Amino acid sequence: MFISFEGIDGSGKSTQLTMLREWFESRGSGVTVIREPGATLLSESIREILLSTKQSITPTAELLLFSAARTQLVEKVIEPALESGSIILCDRYVDSTTAYQGYGRGLDLTAVQAINSIATRGVMPGLTFFIDVRYEQAQQRMQFSEGGGEPDRMERAGREFFNRVRDGYLAISQQDVKRFVVIDGYRDRASIHFDIISEVERRLHTVSS
Ligand SMILES: Nc1ncnc2c1ncn2[C@@H]1O[C@H](COP(=O)(O)OP(=O)(O)O)[C@@H](O)[C@H]1O
Ligand SMILES: [Mg+2]
User: Which pLDDT value is given to residue 84?
Assistant: 95
Domain ranges, ordered by start, for the chain: 2-208
Residue 203 is which amino acid? R
Per-residue pLDDT band for 153 (boundaries 50, 70, 90) equals: confident
Per-residue pLDDT band for 151 (boundaries 50, 70, 90) equals: confident
Of all protein residues, the one whose alpha carbon is nearest to atom 8 of ligand 1 is 12
Which residues, listed in sequence order, are joined to residue 2 by a DSSP beta bridge? 88
Contact, 34 vs 91, CB < 8 A?
yes
The SS3 of residue 142 is helix
User: What letter would DSSP give residue 37?
Assistant: S
- CA-CA distance, 8 to 12, in Å (whole number)? 9
Q: Which atom of ligand 1 is nearest to the CA of 189?
A: 1
Of all protein residues, the one whose alpha carbon is nearest to atom 16 of ligand 1 is 12
User: Which pLDDT value is given to residue 31?
Assistant: 96
pLDDT tens readout for residues 155-169: 888 899 999 999 999
pLDDT tens readout for residues 174-184: 999 999 999 99
User: Which pLDDT value is given to residue 193?
Assistant: 98
Per-residue pLDDT band for 208 (boundaries 50, 70, 90) equals: low
Q: Which atom of ligand 1 is nearest to the CA of 7?
A: 22
Query: Can you identify the CATH homologous superfamily of domain 2-208?
Result: P-loop containing nucleotide triphosphate hydrolases (3.40.50.300)
Asked whether the predicted pLDDT for residue 202 surpasses 80, the reply is yes
Q: What is the mean pLDDT of residues 133-153?
A: 83
176 C-beta neighbours (distance < 10 Å), count = 11
pLDDT tens readout for residues 86-133: 999 999 999 999 999 999 999 999 999 999 999 999 999 999 999 999
CA of 189 to the centre of ligand 1 (A): 8
CA of 14 to the centre of ligand 2 (A): 4
Of all protein residues, the one whose alpha carbon is nearest to atom 4 of ligand 1 is 188
User: Which pLDDT value is given to residue 207?
Assistant: 67
User: Which pLDDT value is given to residue 93?
Assistant: 98
Contact, 168 vs 103, CB < 8 A?
yes
Q: Ligand 1 site: residues with CB under 6 angstroms?
A: 7, 9-15, 141-142, 144-145, 188-189, 192
pLDDT tens readout for residues 11-49: 999 999 999 999 999 999 999 999 999 999 999 999 999
**Among residues of the chain, what percentage have pLDDT more than 70?**
97
Asked whether the predicted pLDDT for residue 148 surpasses 80, the reply is no
- Residues with Cβ within 8 Å of residue 199, at least 6 apart in sequence: 127, 129, 181
Per-residue pLDDT band for 144 (boundaries 50, 70, 90) equals: confident
User: Which pLDDT value is given to residue 147?
Assistant: 62
Contact, 12 vs 131, CB < 8 A?
yes
